Amino acid sequence: MKERLLEVKNLELRVGKFSLSNLSFSLNAGEYVMILGPTGAGKTILLECIAGLQTPHRGEIFLHGRKVTDFPPEQRHLGFAYQDSLLYPFLTVRENILFGARARGLATEAGVIKRMNELIEIMGISHLLERYPANLSGGEKQRVSLARAILTQPSLLLLDEPLSALDPGTRRSMQNLLREIHTTENLGILHVTHDFSEALQLGTQMMVLNNGCLEQSGLPLEVFFKPSSLEVAKFLQGENLIPGYLIFANHAAWFKPELGKPLIGPLPKNLAPDSACNTENPVVLMIRSSNLSLHQPGETPGECISWPAQIQYLSFNRTHVDVHCRGYGLWETSLSLSQWHKLALSEGDPVLLAVKPEHCHFIAV
């Protein structure tokens, strides 16, 4: 059983009109937990509570099973990297990296230097050691900031949107670096972001925070494909959110879209939300575009539920085509360029949309 690094119990904090509301969660050794949420959700304040930079009004924080709620930051032994790298402008890269470790007196000078040399090789910044922060790019500053945080030998690394200000190419490079650090250092990491694609790529666990409340937590793909509420689905850019009703008959469930009389089904009854009963229940159906397939009229897609639709408009990209259809609701799916050329369809053409029942996700409203 993995060691529990962090446990947060019933945490509450009020800052002006904003409040964190009764948050509870844990993080085990070796986990990479992504905290996902929109701007103003309370993500940074939560990290600052864990780091000891904010004092909660209620609740408890444990590190390695030890209660640290009232401990100052220097007694928690955590690494922290902000979106702004916060490097000392009057120190060289070498001096910035060494600053925290020397301040904590963690090891002999020789031991610190040896460990630093290992880190700068991983980070790819050995050629920058004598530069000052003013002469570094955004990605280089973040690499230096990470090296400084890791050199202090933290039990847990806290990252507050460290990649959000970087250009796409540098961001991808830093994501690869964070994956490597997580693997090689075996660090527990708590990483705040508003970018759900980043959360999917990096996290082993995901938490969705909104208005100071923990909306949902679990495996990243589980949260992505099965959001617990309409708010979470919209934040995660859920496609094909179709309002309607679940109707139960003959030991199966049927979906009745608001915009159309025909029923879509049958669906396994266990796909219905827990709150559903054997009556007509208002729900929102969500189908990720990657799970919605498009066919020529008259085809019979095996093991799928299908319904007619008409192509409304197309969006061409470098590698695929986004196809927007209308058929008892507005639907979106995508085709590779080769699939598109094979089907030879145009705007206004009739099509058949199909989905496997297990890819239908219903959200109670």
CATH 2.40.50.100 location in the chain:
239-364
pLDDT of residue 26: 95
Q: 115 pLDDT exceeds 70?
A: yes
Angstrom distances, CA of residue 322 to CA of 22, 73, 167, 293, 342: 41, 49, 25, 12, 15
Average pLDDT over all residues of the chain: 88
Mean pLDDT for 68-97 is 90
CATH 3.40.50.300 location in the chain:
4-229
Angstrom distances, CA of residue 205 to CA of 213, 224, 240: 17, 11, 25
Q: What is the pLDDT of residues 36-74, one digit of tens each?
A: 999 889 999 999 999 999 999 999 999 999 999 999 998
What does the DSSP 8-state code read for residue 263? Answer: P
Q: Confidence band (pLDDT; 50, 70, 90) for 242? A: very high
Cα 13 to chain centroid, rounded: 23
Q: Confidence band (pLDDT; 50, 70, 90) for 324? A: very high
Q: 332 pLDDT exceeds 80?
A: yes
Q: 6 pLDDT exceeds 60?
A: yes
In a 13 Å sphere around the CA of 116, the CA atoms on its Cβ side amount to: 23
Q: 310 pLDDT exceeds 80?
A: yes
Q: Give the 3-state secondary structure of residue 206.
A: strand
Q: 103 pLDDT exceeds 80?
A: no
Q: Confidence band (pLDDT; 50, 70, 90) for 221? A: very high
187 vs 307: CA distance, rounded Å? 48
Percent of the chain scored above 70 by pLDDT? 94
Q: What is the pLDDT of residues 172-201, one digit of tens each?
A: 888 998 998 898 888 899 999 999 899 999
Which fold does the domain 239-364 belong to in CATH? Answer: OB fold (Dihydrolipoamide Acetyltransferase, E2P) (2.40.50)
What does the DSSP 8-state code read for residue 29? Answer: T
Q: 326 pLDDT exceeds 90?
A: yes
Q: 107 pLDDT exceeds 60?
A: no
- Where would I find the beta strands (DSSP E) of the chain? 4-15, 18-28, 32-36, 58-63, 66-67, 78-81, 156-160, 188-193, 205-210, 213-218, 241-249, 252-257, 264-267, 281-286, 293-295, 305-316, 320-326, 330-336, 350-355, 361-364
In sequence order, what are the residues at sequence separation of 6 or more whose Cβ sits closer than 8 angstroms to the Cβ of residue 317?
none
- pTM for the model stands at 0.87
pLDDT of residue 232: 95
pLDDT of residue 85: 78
306 vs 325: CA distance, rounded Å? 13
The CATH homologous superfamily of the domain defined by 4-229: P-loop containing nucleotide triphosphate hydrolases (3.40.50.300)
Higher pLDDT, 116 or 223: 223
Q: Give the 3-state secondary structure of residue 39.
A: coil
pLDDT of residue 278: 53
Q: What is the pLDDT of residues 245-291, one digit of tens each?
A: 888 776 777 888 887 666 777 777 666 555 555 567 889 999 999 99
202 vs 172: CA distance, rounded Å? 11
Mean pLDDT for 319-345 is 89
32 vs 44: CA distance, rounded Å? 17
Q: Is the peptide bond before 301 cis (omega within 30 degrees of 0)?
A: no
Tokens representing 324?
Answer: 């927007």
